Chains A and B, each alone.
Chain A
Amino acid sequence: MEIVTGYVTGVNGNMLNVSFEGSVRKNEVGYIVTDGKRLKGEVIRINNGVASMQIYEMSEGIKVGDPVEFTGELMSVELGPGLLTQVFDGLQNPLPDLAEKCGFFLERGVYLDPIPDREWEFTPAVKAGDSVEAGSTVGTVPEGIFTHQIMVPFTLRGKDWKVKSVKKKGTYHVRSTVAVIENSKGDEKELSMVFAQPIKMPIKNYTERLRPDEPLVTKIRCIDAFLPVAKGGTFCVPGPFGAGKTVLQHLEAKNSEADIVIVAACGERAGEVVEILKEFPELEDPKTGRSLMERTIIICNTSSMPVAAREASCYTAVTLAEYYRQMGLDVLLLADSTSRWAQAMREMSGRLEEIPGEEAFPAYLESTIAAFYERAGKVRLKDGRIGSITIGGTVSPAGGNFEEPVTQATLKVVGAFHGLSRERSDARKYPAIHPMDSWSKYAGVVDMERVEQARAILIRSNEVNQMMKVVGEEGTSSEDYIVYQKGELLDAVYLQQNSFDPIDAVCVPERQRQEFDKLYDALMKTYDLTDKKEIRGFFNQLRQEFLDWHGTLFETPEFDAQGKKITDFYMAKAID
């Protein structure tokens, strides 16, 4: 194939104009050669024979006339065994390897192989003569706790491919040929365990998309019961700074019942990624008993890394998620933060001198965000297995105001909204998800009808509280005051959860059901209390009992005893 080349004619920030001869595709990758370094870039516009490229590196030192080599390939990631446990930047550069090679700083123009250079124990799943197509499994290798499927590249076209030969069970290098396929025209293709996949093209090798109807358990009470997330669903977490978005996402990454968790740290603090890096290998996955890192991939493009790579990082993450979904696994993708991703788009749009939309975001902001979240979903694969991707994105709205374009565009396309509030985080009520403003369209782990009734108490309680601020406690009736106290109780003992307490931090569904049942029962009772002081004392004590209950281990005699103690306590004052 002829290599298309060109040269730089203009530099504006990280956008270059390149004059070229021959054929160039939109979104294809090219390398700018400057000072003996090859800097990666992507063609984002072609206008009057001049290609505009965004480069994924700092543009200092580039001069007019520097040569550019086009690859003819779209911006891609490499898929294969060994991706789990790794830490990549937005372009799938393995950061620890980079550190070994370049030291403390991220040197530009150094791109390393994302797939570890090693051998795997390969077991064939097809034999010569079998029909295959894009996405078919040709064999498996064991990757940690998973059976990693070696598949036919998703970009393969045509349905008339057959296996010509396949390697016997044995140990092979990741890049060696494990199978050869051919089609009716006699074209042959050698398959290794690794292939490339363009990041902006969704992988659609499944038979149908299913409705997300099964809850993804996060073990956070407030989410699982009141604002559930479904496997294959989407949710967003907007909140002002300091409200605990990242802490909440880390908890979800730690405790969610997904098979694989991909954390995309997109334009956020490097320190937070370091916390995951140092903490996760030490933690144990309760499901498998292995290190939590074995089910985790981290894509890390922190705020000080070049902005164009930030835009790519979210797509890199979702492509890896789609790859593992093709193996019938449940994948949770956590993106922190989609606002930084949107800002990266805004910066590029500005350099392209496009007509700006609201707050200078490009006009295609909404469709781009929608397309990203739509890559989530629960699907039935061609072999009948079910896989899912759940996407949770944080949003960092300017000034904490949810009316801004990114939050609004996100709210249109997600299935659950976990809005964090400054008031709640200031009052140290964690997780600071606002129980009344937030919503979810999915079904949770406890009976939804009773959850709605509990929520009604919360709303009523809040109304009483507002009223009390005007008329004072003395001007409030005992009935209203009890409703207010019930709402406060629900908030304190169910919605709030102490993530620093090893027992309370992780609340399994069965425990949630039992706790919710008891709390519901207590909330629905009428109490023989009239004096405000007495009411306050009663609910304070009840709250204390519930909090003590949170501190006991589930399925132990202590747990049952404390549960009984609570019932006895409130039944003593209840009127039936």
Chain B
Amino acid sequence: MQKVYTKIDSIIGNVVTVRAKGVRNGDLALVGDSYATVIKLDQDIVSLQVFAGGQGVSTTDPVRFLGRPMMVSFSENLLGRVFDGAGVPRDNGPALTENMIPIGGPSVNPAKRIVPKKMIRTGIPMIDVFNTLVESQKLPIFSVSGEPYNALLSRIALQAEVDVIILGGMGLKYDDYLTFRDTLEKGGAMSHTVMFIHTAADPIVECTLVPDMSLAVAEQFALGGKRVLVLLTDMTNFADAQKEMAITMEKVPSNRGYPGDLYSCLAYRYEKAVDFEGAGSITILGVTTMPGDDVTHPVPDNTGYITEGQYYLKNGHIEPFGSLSRLKQNVNSLTRDDHRALMDGMIRIYASYKESLEKKSMGFMMTEWDNKLLRYGELFESKLMDLSVNIPLEEALDLGWEILAECFEPNETGLKTSLIKERWPKKDVFN
């Protein structure tokens, strides 16, 4: 039997308080028609965070405690569906109530983790060749607003070799959401995709639930042996929502207004990335927009300390410098014997190209070597760095050799002679 309370004492921001007994921390309640969670207890004063926001809540609205924490339904029926941050269908489909699982569960025992060593192929050379994505990795895409990060995410969703894709959208523009949906439908990926979408117009509390919902579902799929890729866009909106809620609750801000537990908040979500021994895995790819291209802003900064590298999206492509996949060395040696050497060599020469480019812009004389580098840089950017390129890893490696051969003599590349003999496309140079 549920008791109904009809006297709300205070409504501040999204938080309402009501006097009630026997209420458990973290439990779900209904305030009017909107869901809310218990965030604080003090004697019989219960503070509730209302998902739909405090706007329009009346002091006489009925408050019903449901006696259970926030949950989400989990089954195969989720696939192909779209929900909002509170788990309510967005796609006119039926609401799902079977097999409810709690969100925000405990973290995985480190002793049960295994060293990740399976590559995820995406068909994007800048990822596959230079900063390989590894199963169970957590990687953010650091990006300035206006960069095509959502387009990149949907391409990865379409091309990545995984079983289930879970898209968590936070503060998305409505048209971005539609683009995502249409792209995935057109690409035929919708049948193995679940979407939890919070758009910019939705209540802020729901924004903070999206990662938990997405990851709770992902965890269940992974335990069932599926390889799950979770795409989260945009985690800066998530952090901003946390900030907004913390400030309205009069928490002491630490850095640029963000709450002191921002690191823990983000880490708690990102650390859900895992490779279960004997079951599936969760890989997390998040977007973190950097206000003002400032990597020292609290959100990208804290994210960088948590994640295993980052993709740096700038001027429409993934920057070779600044981007890093910390786990790539786990897999590079297993792909093809020339992968690691070629990857390092090409980046090294690309760095020289950047220096020559700088020299050129400062009006210094260009030597023959500089001109070779400039040509190389141009080819590298157009054939490999361009985000529209979609080729498998092996083809990309071959292409890398071709570019090198087109621009340089073998001994100019700084690569091992034995490797060059084996892979150099123009064999006649050795005669």
Contact = CB atoms under 8 A, between A and B. Distances in A.
A308 to B, nearest CB: 11
A278 B109 CA distance: 14
Nearest to A298: B110
Contacts of A61: 24-27, 69
A12 B40 contact: yes
Contact of A398 (B267, B274, B301, B309): B301
A401 B296 contact: yes
B332 to A, nearest CB: 12
Nearest to A105: B106
Nearest to A63: B24
B112 A305 contact: no
A516 B301 CA distance: 38
B188 interface: no
Given A241-B305, A278-B115, A347 B43 contact: no
A107 interface: yes
B260 A95 contact: no
B271 A10 contact: no
B23 A346 contact: no
A271 B308 contact: yes
Contacts of A305: 107
A87 interface: yes
A302 interface: yes
B304 to A, nearest CB: 4
Interface string A67-101: 00000000000000000000100000001101100
B429 interface: no
A398 B296 CA distance: 7
Contacts of B264: 267, 303, 307, 343, 347
Given A105-B106, A347-B261, A98 B304 contact: no
Interface stretch (B250-258, B387-395, B405-413): B250-258
A318 B267 CA distance: 25
A396 B304 CA distance: 11
A174 B274 CA distance: 37
Interface in A28-61: 58-61
Given A96-B111, A274-B113, A274-B114, A63 B263 contact: no
A500 B77 CA distance: 48
Contacts of A102: 109
Given A303-B264, A360-B260, A274 B115 contact: yes
A34 B276 CA distance: 30
A502 to B, nearest CB: 15
Interface residues of A, number: 60
B44 interface: yes
B3 interface: no
A10 B25 CA distance: 10
Contact of A242 (B42, B69, B263, B324): B324
A361 B264 CA distance: 15
Contacts of A300: 110
B116 interface: yes
A64 B267 contact: no
A256 interface: no
Contact of B260 (A87, A350, A396): A350
B35 to A, nearest CB: 16
B108 A105 contact: yes
A305 B268 CA distance: 8
Contacts of A472: 364
Interface in B87-145: 104-116, 136
A62 interface: yes
Nearest to B21: A64
A104 B223 contact: yes
B298 interface: yes
B198 interface: no
A8 B267 CA distance: 29
B22 interface: yes
Contact of B22 (A11, A63, A107): A63
Given A64-B43, A303-B263, A360-B252, A270 B108 contact: yes
B396 interface: no
A241 B304 contact: yes
Nearest to B47: A12
Nearest to B267: A303
Given A59-B26, A350-B251, A356-B252, A104 B108 contact: yes
Contact of B306 (A60, A63, A240, A303): A303
B113 A270 contact: yes
Nearest to A361: B254
A63 B106 CA distance: 19
A9 interface: yes
Nearest to A345: B260
Contact of B111 (A98, A271, A401): A98
A515 to B, nearest CB: 25
Nearest to B269: A304
A411 to B, nearest CB: 20
Contacts of B430: none
A202 interface: no
B243 interface: no
Contacts of A104: 108-109, 112, 223, 276
B113 A360 contact: no
Nearest to A98: B109
B41 interface: yes
Contacts of A303: 263-264, 267-268, 271, 306
Contacts of B227: none
Given A63-B41, A64-B41, A302 B254 contact: no
B272 interface: yes
A396 B106 CA distance: 25
Nearest to A241: B304
Nearest to B22: A63
A300 B111 CA distance: 10
A240 B106 CA distance: 29
Interface string A345-358: 01100100000100
A273 interface: yes
Given A59-B25, A347-B261, A242 B107 contact: no
A203 to B, nearest CB: 28
Interface centre among B27, B111, B272, B308 (most CB of A within 10 A): B111
Nearest to A356: B252
Contacts of B24: 60-63
Contacts of B21: 64-65
B25 A11 contact: yes
Interface string A4-20: 00001111100001000
Interface in B409-431: none
A11 to B, nearest CB: 4
A278 B263 CA distance: 27
B110 A340 contact: no
Given A61-B69, A350-B251, A302 B25 contact: no
Contacts of A273: 110
A442 to B, nearest CB: 29
A99 B110 CA distance: 9
A303 B272 CA distance: 11
Contacts of B251: 350
Given A64-B23, A87-B111, A472-B364, 16 more contacts: A11-B42, A12-B41, A17-B42, A60-B25, A61-B69, A62-B41, A64-B22, A64-B41, A102-B109, A105-B107, A274-B115, A303-B267, A343-B260, A347-B264, A398-B296, A399-B298
6 contacts: A241-B301, A274-B113, A343-B260, A350-B260, A356-B252, A359-B254
Closest 6 pairs (CB-CB, A-B)? A399-B296, A303-B267, A60-B26, A304-B271, A360-B254, A241-B304
Interface of B: 21-27, 40-44, 69, 104-116, 136, 223, 251-255, 259-261, 263-264, 267-268, 271-272, 274, 276, 295-298, 301-302, 304-306, 308-310, 321-322, 324, 327, 364
